[in-house]
């Protein structure tokens, strides 16, 4: 058999949509995902979702959070 691909892997490595760095997507286990360390308000989530559709690394989420807060004067 030539099925040596790891189908049992629960998470996949994907590029951050913003900076293209490799991140491990854990959408099915959100609390263990690297992005869950960034606490975003509903307005910050909306701001980021208007710019990007896919997964982002924690570094980019922090940067976009700062960008949003500077934009609104927090």
Instruction: Write out pLDDT tens, residues 18-67.
Output: 999 999 877 777 677 788 889 999 999 999 999 999 889 999 999 999 99
- Whether residue 43 lies inside any domain: the answer is yes
Give per-residue burial for 40-74: e unless 16+ CB within 10 Å, then b: beeebeebbeeeeeebbbeebbeebbeebeeeeee
- Whether residue 68 lies inside any domain: the answer is yes
Domains: count for the chain: 1
- Whether residue 57 lies inside any domain: the answer is yes
- Whether residue 19 lies inside any domain: the answer is yes
- Whether residue 8 lies inside any domain: the answer is no
- Whether residue 6 lies inside any domain: the answer is no
Question: Which pLDDT band, with edges at 50, 70 and 90, does 10 fall under?
Answer: low
Domain extent, residue 43, equals 13-72
- Whether residue 58 lies inside any domain: the answer is yes
Q: In 3D, which of 29, 16, 5, 28 has the Cα closest to residue 59?
A: 16
């Amino acid at each position: 058999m030539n099925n040596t691909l790891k189908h049992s892997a629960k998470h996949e490595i994907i590029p951050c949509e913003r900076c293209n760095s490799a991140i491990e997507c854990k959408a099915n286990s959100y609390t263990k995902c690297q992005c869950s360390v960034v606490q975003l308000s509903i307005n910050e989530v909306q701001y980021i979702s208007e710019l990007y559709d896919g997964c982002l690394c924690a570094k980019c989420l922090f940067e976009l959070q700062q960008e949003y807060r500077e934009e609104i004067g927090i």
